[in-house]
Amino acid sequence: MTHGLRPLYAGAVAAVIVALITPHGAAASGDWTLIGAVCADGDLSGLGPQYAQKLMEAARVGGWTLALQIDNGEQSPTRRLVRGGSDATVVEQPGAAAANMGDATTIAELLSWAAREAPAERYALIVFGHGLSPTGISSEGGQVAEGAAVAVDAASGGDPLTPAELAAAIHDGLGRQVDIAVLDCCYGGSAELAWALREQVQVMLAAPGRVPSSGLAWDEMLASGADAVDAAELSRRWLEGSGEWPLMALRPSGLEQVAEAAMALSRATVLQMAETAPWLSAAQASAQNGEQAEEMCDLREFSRVLAENCPGAVGAAAKDVVEALDRCMVAASGAYRNRIGPAIPVASAIGSRPDALALGGEFARSSGWDELVRAYQDRMDHLMRRTTREQSRGADAA
pLDDT tens digits, 302-344: 999 999 999 999 999 999 999 999 999 999 887 655 567 788 8
Q: Which amino acid, residue 21?
A: I
Rounded to whole angstroms, how far apart are CA atoms 162 and 183?
A: 12
8 Å CB contact between 234 and 294: no
CB 177 within 8 A of CB 153: no
Question: Average pLDDT of 225-232?
Answer: 93
Note whether 14 and 221 are within 8 A (CB): no
pLDDT at 117: 83
pLDDT, tens digit (0-9, with 9 covering 90-100), for 244-279 = 778 899 999 999 999 999 999 999 999 999 999 999
Contact by Cβ (8 Å): 47, 108:
no
pLDDT at 62 over 90: no
Angle at 130 between CA 173 and CA 186, to 5 degrees: 100
Q: Long-range pairs for 319-323 at CB < 8 Å and ≥24 separation?
A: 320/261, 320/264, 320/265, 321/258, 321/261, 321/262, 321/265, 323/261
pLDDT at 124 exceeding the cut of 80: yes
pLDDT band at 169, cuts 50/70/90? very high
Average pLDDT, integer, range 220-228: 91
Residue 350 — pLDDT band, cuts 50, 70, 90? very low
| Residue length of the chain | 398
- How far apart CA 329 and CA 177 sit, in angstroms, is 18
Is the model's pLDDT at 127 over the cut of 70? yes
Tell me the average pLDDT of the chain.
Answer: 80
Closest by CA position to 27, among listed 120, 94, 110, 105: 120
378 band by pLDDT with thresholds 50, 70 and 90: confident
Distance CA 50, CA 212 (A): 13
Tell me, what's the pLDDT at 23?
Answer: 47
Taking domain 16-253, whether its CATH number is 3.40.50 is answered by yes
Please report the pLDDT score of residue 339 as a whole number: 60
- The more confident residue out of 288 and 276 is 276
First-last CA distance in the chain: 45
CB 149 within 8 A of CB 160: yes
C-alpha distance from residue 276 to each of 212, 263, 281, 375 (Å) = 37, 16, 9, 11
Least confident stretch, 22-26, 179-183, 232-236: 22-26
Q: What is the mean pLDDT of residues 95-112?
A: 84
Q: Which residues pair with 230 in a beta bridge?
A: none
* Model confidence band, residue 233 (pLDDT cutoffs 50, 70, 90): very high
Report the pLDDT value the prediction gives residue 314, as an integer from 0 to 100. 97
Angle between helices 255-271 and 312-328 (to 10 degrees): 170
Specify which of 23-27, 31-35, 75-79, 387-391 reaches the highest per-range mean pLDDT: 31-35
For the chain, where do the domains classified as CATH 3.40.50 start and end? 16-253
Under 8 Å between Cβ of 215 and 68:
no
> Model-level pTM?
0.87
Long-range contacts, stretch 236-242, CB < 8 angstroms, 24+ apart? 236/330, 236/331, 238/182, 238/205, 239/205, 239/331, 239/332, 239/333, 240/333, 241/217, 242/216, 242/217, 242/333, 242/334
| Percent of the chain surpassing pLDDT 70 | 74
What does each C-alpha distance from 270 to 30, 100, 361, 378, 383 come to in angstroms? Answer: 52, 43, 19, 11, 16
Q: What is the mean pLDDT of residues 129-142?
A: 68
Q: Are 269 and 348 in contact (CB under 8 A)?
A: no
Q: Across residues 164-193, what is the average pLDDT?
A: 96
pLDDT of residue 79: 52
**Model confidence at 13: pLDDT above 80:** no
Produce one character per residue of 192-213: b if its CB has 16 or more CB atoms within 10 Å, e if not.
Answer: bbbbbbbebbbbbbbbbbbbbb
